[in-house]
Amino acid sequence: MTRFLCGVLVVMSMAAAAAAGAEPEGLSIAWEKNYLTIRGDFPGGDLKILYLEAYCRPGSTDRDWKETVIGHTAELVEASADHKVIKLRDKLADGVVVEHTLTAGRDEVDFRLVAHNPTDKPSLAHWAQPCIRVDRFTGTTTADARTLVPAYARKSFLFLGGKLTRLPTEPWADKARYTPGQVYCPKGVDRNDVNPRPLSTLVPSSGLCGCFSADEKQIMAVAWEPYQEIFQGVIACLHSDFRVGGLAAGETKKIRGKLYIVPADVASLVKRYERDFPEQVHP
């Protein structure tokens, strides 16, 4: 049985090369020791992602984190000389294997994942966490990252009722097994199965979230289809965590994703997101 999932991580920029009339070279990517580094003409010059931070079991909202994580090892299979294509392989402790192909373009990184359970037992790999470090992009630091509302959170956004909404949202949850942070759970996902950080009562209207650059001229945004949660973390990180939903014995699931970097034109961003994620467009 094969199912298709879709994910996109978006970072938007105003390229100096384009302003000078030259064709921008676009983004480049590198991966080492579980960190994906995206480089290009945007604030900070690079964006680091713990890729992937964890694969997670369901029932995670009020449980010790160590009991939620499914251990995995990652290896670099291939990297092109032009820093445009990377292939990775994750091996989960329960036997699941996830193949990743990442391709950098002018203003996006495309993610193609294939998750396969070759065992004769079902896998509880329910969701996974790409942890995006946004302090340099937002012009903030990690010094206040564990406060109730850190500076970088005020640069961050998601969509509520179809409208871009800056953090902190109102109400702002502050109680959970682990604090601080803020989790937003979409419709169709069990609220017992998300990050054990303060869980907002607000329900995002789309899977798109992101943050503005220090000068507000650029946007980093991320989306997945389907997605498990949107999460403002405690190490100046922002998550849109993708959903796997478990794997039956012998089952394969294909997961598609992107990362964009473009100007801070919200209307254009939304149009692009809706083109890439028609499943999340509601009439």
Length of the chain: 283
CB 134 within 8 A of CB 243: no
Average pLDDT of the chain to the nearest whole number: 92
Average pLDDT over every residue of 248-258: 92
- pLDDT at position 92: 98
pLDDT tens sequence across 77-126: 999 999 999 999 999 999 999 999 999 999 999 899 999 999 999 999 99
Domains present along the chain, CATH in parentheses: 2-278 (2.70.98)
Q: Using alpha carbons, select from 266, 272, 187 the residue that is nearest to residue 230.
A: 187
Return phi, psi of residue 107, to 5°.
Answer: -140, 25
CB 277 within 8 A of CB 29: no
- pLDDT > 80? residue 160: yes
- pLDDT > 50? residue 244: yes
Give kind and range of the element (H or E) at residue 220. Answer: strand 218-225
CA-to-CA dists, residue 130 to 20, 185, 270, angstroms: 34, 16, 22
- pLDDT at position 126: 97
- pLDDT at position 7: 53
Q: Which two tokens stand for residue 91?
A: 């091996």
Q: How far apart are CA 25 and CA 44, in angstroms?
A: 17
- pLDDT > 70? residue 8: no
3-state secondary structure of 166: strand
Q: How far apart are CA 201 and CA 170, in angstroms?
A: 10
Q: Using alpha carbons, select from 210, 259, 226 the residue that is nearest to residue 51.
A: 259
β-bridge pairing 252-263 and 46-56? unpaired
CB 211 within 8 A of CB 9: no
CB 117 within 8 A of CB 62: no
β-bridge pairing 252-263 and 35-39? unpaired
pLDDT tens sequence across 205-240: 998 999 999 999 999 999 888 899 999 999 999 999
**pLDDT category of residue 256 using cuts at 50, 70 and 90:** confident
- pLDDT at position 73: 98
The pTM is what?
0.91
- pLDDT at position 23: 42
Q: How far apart are CA 242 and CA 129, in angstroms?
A: 7
Cα-based angle 259, 129, 196 (whole degrees, multiple of 5): 135
- pLDDT > 90? residue 24: no
Exposure string of 58-79, with b = 16+ CB inside 10 Å and e = fewer, is bebbeeeeeebbbebebeeeeb
Cα-based angle 225, 192, 96 (whole degrees, multiple of 5): 55
DSSP of 70-132: EPEEEEEEEE-TTS-EEEEEEEETTS-EEEEEEEE-SSEEEEEEEEE--SSS-B---EEEEEE
DSSP of 221-272: EEEEESEEEEEE-SSSEEEEEEE---B-TT-EEEEEEEEEEEES-HHHHHHH
- pLDDT at position 16: 43
- pLDDT at position 22: 43
By CB atoms closer than 10 A (0-12, 13-18, 19+), residue 183 is: buried
